[in-house]
Amino acid sequence: MSESKLAGQFFDAAIGLLGRVRDEESLNVAAAGSLIADTVEAGGRLFAFGAGHSSLAAQDVVYRAGGFALMNLLAVPGVVGVDVMPATLGSALERVDGLAGAVLDSSPAKAGDVLVIISLSGRNALPVEMAMNARALGLKVIGVTSVAYAEETRSRHVSGTFLRDHCDIVLDSKIAVGDAELTHDGIEAPFAPASTVVTSALMQATMAAAAEALVARGIEPPLLRSGNVDGGHEWNGRVMAEYGDRIFFRH
């Protein structure tokens, strides 16, 4: 069987985007890592939020081997992933005013914590209000979004603003509007989205920068190990015990 030309083109497109964010977002990634390190050192907590497919990159840094034990998922019922039925309901909930405030008010997040908000377009009410309300509560906000949407589309929030307008630090994924890297004769719609690949890479790079900043200060990063390697469970038990008051996915 011959190789797929389109598969190769997607890999090339994804690699190109990864190269761009590595080169063009390096200072912002370092700044985001330092902010997370500051929060860990000060005794604060870490939260990540994303709606729909953007939630995949948020979940990718929560409770996993090689990740920070302190990173907690800020879950909004009905919008985390595509498990809600019908799946279109999740998209509709992203446009509901007031939902973000209700979620934050009932969450353990408080002043001095960090919230990473992931939204490809950054135009819907939920991520915009999440960022606005989080900063009003005294949290620091890191936004992971595509700035192209703010430049080429219209906000769906009453303020006319985008996620990027309410963040302390913005990480630009460079994803083009529409999130589809390929076109082909005979295929009517563009296809092969790369936002998950790039956004997850940005998140992992940021956490790596945070670990680097912590160890430079003489602080051991609160990392989890794989439970599938010898000693992993014992290591994780120690970390969970030491930081238990800042870990909420166990409750």
pLDDT digit string (tens) for the chain, length 251 residues: 789 999 999 999 999 999 999 999 999 999 999 999 999 999 999 999 998 889 999 999 999 999 999 999 998 776 776 666 676 766 666 666 677 788 888 899 999 999 999 999 999 989 999 999 999 999 999 999 999 999 999 998 889 999 999 999 999 999 999 999 999 999 999 999 999 999 999 999 999 999 999 999 999 999 999 999 999 999 999 999 999 999 998 76
According to the model, what pLDDT value does residue 82 have? 67
According to the model, what pLDDT value does residue 10 have? 98
Residue 205 is assigned to a structural domain of this protein: yes
User: Per the structure, how many domains does the chain have?
Assistant: 1
C-alpha span between 228 and 199 (Å, rounded)? 26
Residue 158 is assigned to a structural domain of this protein: yes
In CATH, what number is assigned to the domain containing residue 208?
Answer: 3.40.50.10490
Residue 181 is assigned to a structural domain of this protein: yes
CB atoms within 10 A of CB 105: 10
Strands 187-191 and 71-73: unpaired
Residue 251 is assigned to a structural domain of this protein: no
pTM of this prediction?
Answer: 0.93
C-alpha span between 247 and 122 (Å, rounded)? 27
Residue with tokens 């994780």, as numbered in its chain:
236
Phi and psi at 195, nearest 5°, equal -65, -35
Residue 18 is assigned to a structural domain of this protein: yes
Rg from Cα positions in the chain: 19
Tell me, what amino acid is at 129? E
Q: Which contiguous run of DSSP H or E holds residue 241?
A: helix 232-242
> Domain range spanning residue 24?
5-246
Residues 6+ apart with CB under 8 A from 196: 53, 56, 57
